[in-house]
Protein backbone atom coordinates (compact mmCIF):
# COMPACT_ATOMS: atom_id res chain seq x y z
CA UNK A 1 0.00 0.00 0.00
CA UNK A 2 1.28 3.47 -0.87
CA UNK A 3 2.16 5.66 2.11
CA UNK A 4 0.87 9.18 1.52
CA UNK A 5 1.83 12.48 3.14
CA UNK A 6 -1.65 12.69 4.68
CA UNK A 7 -1.23 9.28 6.31
CA UNK A 8 2.08 10.39 7.82
CA UNK A 9 0.45 13.63 9.04
CA UNK A 10 -2.46 11.73 10.63
CA UNK A 11 -0.14 9.29 12.40
CA UNK A 12 2.00 12.13 13.72
CA UNK A 13 -1.08 13.85 15.18
CA UNK A 14 -2.29 10.62 16.75
CA UNK A 15 1.00 9.65 18.37
CA UNK A 16 3.24 12.73 18.57
CA UNK A 17 6.00 10.77 16.83
CA UNK A 18 8.43 12.39 14.41
CA UNK A 19 7.76 12.58 10.67
CA UNK A 20 10.47 10.10 9.64
CA UNK A 21 9.53 7.69 12.45
CA UNK A 22 5.87 7.89 11.41
CA UNK A 23 6.72 7.25 7.76
CA UNK A 24 8.93 4.30 8.69
CA UNK A 25 6.17 2.85 10.88
CA UNK A 26 3.66 3.04 8.03
CA UNK A 27 6.08 1.44 5.59
CA UNK A 28 6.86 -1.36 8.05
CA UNK A 29 3.12 -2.04 8.60
CA UNK A 30 2.07 -1.66 4.96
CA UNK A 31 0.00 1.44 5.67
CA UNK A 32 -2.05 -0.05 8.53
CA UNK A 33 -2.63 2.92 10.89
CA UNK A 34 -3.53 0.81 13.93
CA UNK A 35 -0.51 -1.44 13.41
CA UNK A 36 1.69 1.64 12.90
CA UNK A 37 0.51 3.09 16.22
CA UNK A 38 1.35 -0.21 17.92
CA UNK A 39 4.74 -0.24 16.16
CA UNK A 40 5.56 3.24 17.45
CA UNK A 41 4.39 2.38 20.96
CA UNK A 42 6.63 -0.70 21.02
CA UNK A 43 9.56 1.42 19.89
CA UNK A 44 8.76 4.01 22.56
CA UNK A 45 8.33 6.68 19.90
CA UNK A 46 4.67 7.49 20.39
CA UNK A 47 5.17 9.96 23.20
CA UNK A 48 8.83 10.97 22.94
CA UNK A 49 8.30 13.70 20.35
CA UNK A 50 5.79 15.57 22.51
CA UNK A 51 8.41 15.93 25.22
CA UNK A 52 11.31 16.87 22.97
CA UNK A 53 10.80 20.61 23.38
CA UNK A 54 11.48 20.55 27.11
CA UNK A 55 14.93 21.48 28.30
CA UNK A 56 16.90 18.55 29.74
CA UNK A 57 19.65 20.12 31.85
CA UNK A 58 19.73 17.81 34.85
CA UNK A 59 20.91 14.20 34.77
CA UNK A 60 24.03 12.19 35.46
CA UNK A 61 27.62 11.76 34.37
CA UNK A 62 28.78 8.14 34.31
CA UNK A 63 32.25 6.67 33.84
CA UNK A 64 33.27 3.10 33.10
CA UNK A 65 36.60 1.40 32.42
CA UNK A 66 37.78 -2.00 31.21
CA UNK A 67 38.96 -4.45 33.84
CA UNK A 68 42.50 -4.21 32.45
CA UNK A 69 42.30 -0.38 32.66
CA UNK A 70 43.34 0.01 29.02
CA UNK A 71 40.23 2.00 28.09
CA UNK A 72 37.56 4.07 29.77
CA UNK A 73 34.53 6.12 28.81
CA UNK A 74 32.60 9.06 30.19
CA UNK A 75 29.02 9.91 29.21
CA UNK A 76 26.47 12.56 30.15
CA UNK A 77 22.77 11.72 30.00
CA UNK A 78 20.36 14.54 30.73
CA UNK A 79 16.85 14.65 32.16
CA UNK A 80 14.49 17.53 32.84
CA UNK A 81 14.50 17.25 36.62
CA UNK A 82 16.86 16.29 39.40
CA UNK A 83 14.10 14.03 40.74
CA UNK A 84 14.31 11.78 37.67
CA UNK A 85 18.14 11.88 37.77
CA UNK A 86 17.94 10.21 41.19
CA UNK A 87 15.50 7.54 39.98
CA UNK A 88 16.87 3.97 39.89
CA UNK A 89 15.40 3.31 36.44
CA UNK A 90 17.22 6.36 35.05
CA UNK A 91 20.48 5.38 36.80
CA UNK A 92 20.33 1.85 35.37
CA UNK A 93 19.74 3.28 31.89
CA UNK A 94 22.74 5.62 32.21
CA UNK A 95 24.92 2.66 33.25
CA UNK A 96 23.83 0.84 30.10
CA UNK A 97 24.65 3.89 27.97
CA UNK A 98 28.16 3.86 29.46
CA UNK A 99 28.53 0.14 28.62
CA UNK A 100 27.35 0.86 25.07
CA UNK A 101 29.91 3.68 24.78
CA UNK A 102 32.71 1.46 26.08
CA UNK A 103 32.06 -1.06 23.29
CA UNK A 104 31.44 1.61 20.66
CA UNK A 105 33.97 2.86 18.14
CA UNK A 106 31.75 5.69 16.87
CA UNK A 107 33.48 9.03 16.37
CA UNK A 108 30.42 11.28 16.76
CA UNK A 109 27.01 11.30 18.42
CA UNK A 110 25.04 10.77 15.19
CA UNK A 111 26.78 7.47 14.45
CA UNK A 112 26.48 6.49 18.13
CA UNK A 113 22.70 7.03 18.05
CA UNK A 114 22.45 4.86 14.92
CA UNK A 115 24.31 1.92 16.48
CA UNK A 116 22.47 -1.24 17.47
CA UNK A 117 21.60 -1.19 21.17
CA UNK A 118 23.82 -3.95 22.59
CA UNK A 119 21.14 -5.04 25.07
CA UNK A 120 18.49 -5.45 22.34
CA UNK A 121 19.72 -5.61 18.74
CA UNK A 122 16.19 -4.99 17.47
CA UNK A 123 16.62 -1.34 18.48
CA UNK A 124 19.12 1.41 17.83
CA UNK A 125 20.56 3.56 20.61
CA UNK A 126 18.20 6.35 19.53
CA UNK A 127 15.16 4.07 19.61
CA UNK A 128 16.06 2.84 23.10
CA UNK A 129 16.40 6.46 24.25
CA UNK A 130 12.90 7.14 22.94
CA UNK A 131 11.61 4.06 24.77
CA UNK A 132 13.12 5.32 28.01
CA UNK A 133 11.55 8.74 27.49
CA UNK A 134 8.17 7.02 27.21
CA UNK A 135 8.79 4.93 30.35
CA UNK A 136 10.25 7.68 32.53
CA UNK A 137 7.94 10.43 31.28
CA UNK A 138 10.47 13.22 30.78
CA UNK A 139 12.53 14.48 27.90
CA UNK A 140 16.00 12.96 28.02
CA UNK A 141 19.14 13.23 25.93
CA UNK A 142 22.47 11.46 25.61
CA UNK A 143 24.37 14.71 25.35
CA UNK A 144 27.98 13.62 24.91
CA UNK A 145 30.51 10.86 25.33
CA UNK A 146 34.28 10.47 25.21
CA UNK A 147 36.60 7.49 25.26
CA UNK A 148 40.25 7.25 26.30
CA UNK A 149 42.53 4.31 25.52
CA UNK A 150 46.08 3.73 26.71
CA UNK A 151 48.32 0.82 25.79
CA UNK A 152 51.37 2.48 27.43
CA UNK A 153 49.81 2.70 30.86
CA UNK A 154 46.23 2.83 32.10
CA UNK A 155 43.00 4.84 32.27
CA UNK A 156 41.44 5.79 35.60
CA UNK A 157 38.03 7.28 36.41
CA UNK A 158 36.29 9.14 39.20
CA UNK A 159 32.71 10.20 39.93
CA UNK A 160 31.96 13.03 42.34
CA UNK A 161 28.74 14.13 44.06
CA UNK A 162 26.72 11.13 42.92
CA UNK A 163 27.24 11.77 39.23
CA UNK A 164 27.30 15.55 39.14
CA UNK A 165 30.96 15.53 38.01
CA UNK A 166 32.96 12.83 36.26
CA UNK A 167 36.63 12.60 35.32
CA UNK A 168 38.72 10.34 33.09
CA UNK A 169 42.51 10.48 33.16
CA UNK A 170 45.03 8.64 30.97
CA UNK A 171 48.40 7.84 32.58
CA UNK A 172 51.50 6.75 30.67
CA UNK A 173 53.66 4.59 32.95
CA UNK A 174 55.96 1.58 32.83
CA UNK A 175 54.96 0.57 36.37
CA UNK A 176 51.39 -0.05 37.55
CA UNK A 177 50.82 -0.69 41.24
CA UNK A 178 48.45 0.41 44.01
CA UNK A 179 50.42 3.55 44.84
CA UNK A 180 50.39 4.73 41.23
CA UNK A 181 46.68 3.91 40.91
CA UNK A 182 46.07 5.95 44.05
CA UNK A 183 48.03 8.80 42.48
CA UNK A 184 45.70 8.58 39.45
CA UNK A 185 42.68 8.74 41.76
CA UNK A 186 44.08 11.82 43.53
CA UNK A 187 44.69 13.50 40.17
CA UNK A 188 41.09 12.76 39.15
CA UNK A 189 39.87 14.32 42.40
CA UNK A 190 42.11 17.35 41.77
CA UNK A 191 40.59 17.78 38.31
CA UNK A 192 37.07 17.46 39.71
CA UNK A 193 37.72 20.06 42.40
CA UNK A 194 39.99 22.56 40.65
CA UNK A 195 38.56 22.55 37.09
CA UNK A 196 41.73 22.88 35.02
CA UNK A 197 41.16 23.91 31.42
CA UNK A 198 44.41 22.48 30.05
CA UNK A 199 46.94 19.78 30.90
CA UNK A 200 49.96 22.05 30.47
CA UNK A 201 50.85 25.47 29.09
CA UNK A 202 51.97 23.76 25.85
CA UNK A 203 48.29 23.01 25.15
CA UNK A 204 47.06 26.60 25.59
CA UNK A 205 45.72 28.02 22.35
CA UNK A 206 47.27 31.29 21.14
CA UNK A 207 43.80 32.83 20.70
CA UNK A 208 42.99 32.00 24.32
CA UNK A 209 46.22 33.66 25.48
CA UNK A 210 45.49 36.78 23.41
CA UNK A 211 41.92 37.05 24.68
CA UNK A 212 42.88 36.56 28.34
CA UNK A 213 45.62 39.18 28.15
CA UNK A 214 43.21 41.65 26.55
CA UNK A 215 40.74 41.07 29.37
CA UNK A 216 43.41 41.49 32.05
CA UNK A 217 44.71 44.64 30.32
CA UNK A 218 41.25 46.25 30.26
CA UNK A 219 40.65 45.26 33.88
CA UNK A 220 43.93 46.90 34.88
CA UNK A 221 43.14 50.10 32.96
CA UNK A 222 39.76 50.33 34.70
CA UNK A 223 41.14 49.53 38.16
CA UNK A 224 41.43 52.76 40.21
CA UNK A 225 44.77 51.51 41.59
CA UNK A 226 46.36 51.21 38.14
CA UNK A 227 44.28 53.55 35.97
CA UNK A 228 46.34 56.24 34.26
CA UNK A 229 49.62 54.36 34.44
CA UNK A 230 51.66 54.01 31.22
CA UNK A 231 50.84 51.03 28.99
CA UNK A 232 54.32 49.52 29.48
CA UNK A 233 53.71 49.40 33.26
CA UNK A 234 50.26 47.90 32.76
CA UNK A 235 51.64 45.35 30.27
CA UNK A 236 54.14 44.20 32.90
CA UNK A 237 51.29 43.72 35.35
CA UNK A 238 49.31 41.85 32.70
CA UNK A 239 52.15 39.35 32.24
CA UNK A 240 52.36 38.79 35.99
CA UNK A 241 48.63 38.20 36.36
CA UNK A 242 48.53 35.97 33.30
CA UNK A 243 51.29 33.73 34.65
CA UNK A 244 49.33 33.42 37.88
CA UNK A 245 46.19 32.50 35.93
CA UNK A 246 48.07 29.83 33.99
CA UNK A 247 48.93 28.11 37.27
CA UNK A 248 45.19 27.84 37.88
CA UNK A 249 44.20 26.88 34.32
CA UNK A 250 46.88 24.22 33.71
CA UNK A 251 46.68 20.96 35.68
CA UNK A 252 50.44 20.33 35.90
CA UNK A 253 51.02 23.82 37.33
CA UNK A 254 48.20 23.69 39.87
CA UNK A 255 49.03 23.35 43.54
CA UNK A 256 48.32 19.82 44.71
CA UNK A 257 45.33 20.20 47.03
CA UNK A 258 44.17 16.59 47.24
CA UNK A 259 47.29 14.73 48.36
CA UNK A 260 49.57 17.42 49.82
CA UNK A 261 53.17 16.76 50.76
CA UNK A 262 54.90 18.33 53.80
CA UNK A 263 55.75 21.28 51.56
CA UNK A 264 53.52 22.76 48.87
CA UNK A 265 54.00 21.07 45.51
CA UNK A 266 52.52 21.31 42.03
CA UNK A 267 50.80 18.39 40.35
CA UNK A 268 53.88 18.05 38.13
CA UNK A 269 56.09 17.77 41.22
CA UNK A 270 53.64 15.31 42.80
CA UNK A 271 53.83 13.03 39.74
CA UNK A 272 57.63 13.24 39.76
CA UNK A 273 57.71 12.36 43.46
CA UNK A 274 55.52 9.27 42.99
CA UNK A 275 57.54 8.25 39.91
CA UNK A 276 60.81 8.47 41.82
CA UNK A 277 59.43 6.52 44.80
CA UNK A 278 58.35 3.69 42.47
CA UNK A 279 61.30 3.77 40.03
CA UNK A 280 58.80 4.51 37.27
CA UNK A 281 58.42 6.79 34.28
CA UNK A 282 55.04 8.50 34.69
CA UNK A 283 53.29 11.07 32.53
CA UNK A 284 49.73 12.40 32.55
CA UNK A 285 48.73 11.92 28.91
CA UNK A 286 45.21 13.39 28.87
CA UNK A 287 42.17 14.16 31.00
CA UNK A 288 38.46 14.75 30.41
CA UNK A 289 36.12 16.43 32.89
CA UNK A 290 32.31 16.52 32.59
CA UNK A 291 29.93 18.45 34.82
CA UNK A 292 26.23 17.79 34.44
CA UNK A 293 24.40 20.52 32.55
CA UNK A 294 27.43 22.75 32.04
CA UNK A 295 26.82 25.13 29.14
CA UNK A 296 23.09 24.38 28.96
CA UNK A 297 20.85 27.39 29.47
CA UNK A 298 18.27 26.31 32.01
CA UNK A 299 14.75 27.61 31.64
CA UNK A 300 12.77 28.72 34.69
CA UNK A 301 9.47 26.90 34.40
CA UNK A 302 6.22 28.05 36.03
CA UNK A 303 4.91 24.65 37.12
CA UNK A 304 1.37 25.88 37.83
CA UNK A 305 1.20 27.51 34.41
CA UNK A 306 2.53 24.34 32.79
CA UNK A 307 -0.17 22.23 34.45
CA UNK A 308 -2.87 24.75 33.51
CA UNK A 309 -1.64 24.71 29.91
CA UNK A 310 -1.78 20.91 29.80
CA UNK A 311 -5.32 20.84 31.25
CA UNK A 312 -6.49 23.65 28.96
**Helices (H), ranges, 206-266:** 206-222, 231-249
- pTM attached to this predicted model: 0.75
Q: How confident is the model over 110-124, as a mean pLDDT?
A: 96
Q: Has residue 40 been placed in a domain?
A: yes
Whole-number Å distance between alpha carbons of 208 and 214: 10
Of 59, 63, 84, 64, the closest CA to residue 141 belongs to 59
* Structural domain count of the chain: 2
242 contacts 213 by C-beta, under 8 angstroms: yes
Domain C-terminal end among 105, 128, 149: 149
Q: Has residue 143 been placed in a domain?
A: yes
**In angstroms, how far is the first alpha carbon of the chain from the final one?**
38
Q: Has residue 84 been placed in a domain?
A: yes
Q: Has residue 136 been placed in a domain?
A: yes
Q: Has residue 88 been placed in a domain?
A: yes
Q: Does 302 score more than 70 pLDDT?
A: no
75 contacts 90 by C-beta, under 8 angstroms: no
23-46 confidence digits (pLDDT tens): 888 999 988 887 887 777 666 666
130-178 confidence digits (pLDDT tens): 999 988 888 899 999 999 999 999 999 999 999 999 999 999 999 999 9
Selected residue with higher pLDDT from 306 and 87: 87
Phi, psi of 110 (to 5 degrees): -60, -45
Question: Same domain for 23 and 99?
Answer: no
178 contacts 157 by C-beta, under 8 angstroms: no
45-79 confidence digits (pLDDT tens): 665 445 555 566 799 999 999 999 999 999 999 99
Question: Same domain for 105 and 139?
Answer: yes
Q: Has residue 260 been placed in a domain?
A: no
Q: What is the CATH number of the domain that holds 142?
A: 3.30.479.20
User: What pLDDT band is residue 310 in, cutting at 50, 70 and 90?
Assistant: very low
pLDDT of residue 312: 46
Q: Has residue 142 been placed in a domain?
A: yes
Question: Same domain for 122 and 92?
Answer: yes
Selected residue with higher pLDDT from 105 and 211: 105
Tell me whether residue 166 is exposed, middle or buried, using C-beta atoms within 10 angstroms of its C-beta: 0 to 12, 13 to 18, 19 or more.
buried
Whole-number Å distance between alpha carbons of 233 and 213: 14
pLDDT of residue 57: 74
264 contacts 254 by C-beta, under 8 angstroms: no
Instruction: Please report how the helices 19-28 and 33-43 are oriented relative to each other, as an axis angle in degrees rounded to 10.
Output: 120
Range of the domain at 132: 58-149
Amino acid sequence: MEVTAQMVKDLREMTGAGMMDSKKALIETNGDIDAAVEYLRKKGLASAEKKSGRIAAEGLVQTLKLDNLKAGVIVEVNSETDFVAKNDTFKQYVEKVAKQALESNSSDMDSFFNEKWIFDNAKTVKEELSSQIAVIGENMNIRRKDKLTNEKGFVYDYIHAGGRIGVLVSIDTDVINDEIKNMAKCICMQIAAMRPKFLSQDEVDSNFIKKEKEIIFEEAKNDPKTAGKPDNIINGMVEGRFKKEMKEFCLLDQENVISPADNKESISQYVDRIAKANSANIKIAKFIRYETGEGIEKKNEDFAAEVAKQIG
